[in-house]
Amino acid sequence: MINGKLEEAINEQINAELFAEYFYLSMYAYFERMNLQGFKNWMNVQMQEEHAHAMGLFEYLQNRGGKVVLEQIEKPKTDWSSPKEVFEDVQKHEQLVTSKINALMDIAEEVHDRAAVSFLDWYLKEQVEEELNVGNVLKTLNLICDDKQCLYMLDKEMAARTFTAPQIG
């Protein structure tokens, strides 16, 4: 049976991952309004990743005999001034998720749950990847893309991103 404190923390993380999915869905809607189909595709892939992250924790908690408790999902922001501002928010959000996963890992260590530590290690590595991906988009937006033509070119690149269901754990 999983430790109660860890169970609560995993439930909080499920909520955080579902919020991330919701947040990126709101960005997806923004890019639809902007008619930036490639950026919209990027967000669609990101949303699916977040859903997979949430479900990975959901299934893990159930497999360990824990109780999944779904809480209310916070309302996400709906408007941005530019794609750059969107990606600044994505970066901030992913940094926040990384700190949450680290805190979750701290709890798993504190309660001496080595199986959970090992499972959560996948999430920590995933966060390195996530921060790198968003950092690369932001770098292009910051350093290169300050005109509409460049945004159009970047939009074409963003259209190439595809979703592959992650093998969690």
Would you tell me which residues interact with ligand FEO (CB under 6 A)? 17, 20, 50, 53, 94, 97, 130
Residue 117 structure tokens: 């530590």
Judge residue 164's burial from the number of C-beta atoms within 10 Å of its C-beta, 0-12 exposed, 13-18 middle, 19 or more buried: exposed
Residue 45 CA, distance from chain mean position: 10
CB of 133 to ligand FEO, least distance (A): 9
CB of 19 to ligand FEO, least distance (A): 10
CB of 49 to ligand FEO, least distance (A): 6
Considering beta carbons, is residue 25 or 153 the nearer one to ligand FEO? 25
- The residue whose two tokens read 């959000």 is 93
Considering beta carbons, is residue 28 or 153 the nearer one to ligand FEO? 28
Considering beta carbons, is residue 33 or 92 the nearer one to ligand FEO? 92
Vertex 73: Cα angle to 83 and 132 (nearest 5) = 40
Backbone angles phi, psi at 79, to 5 degrees: -130, 145
CB of 118 to ligand FEO, least distance (A): 18
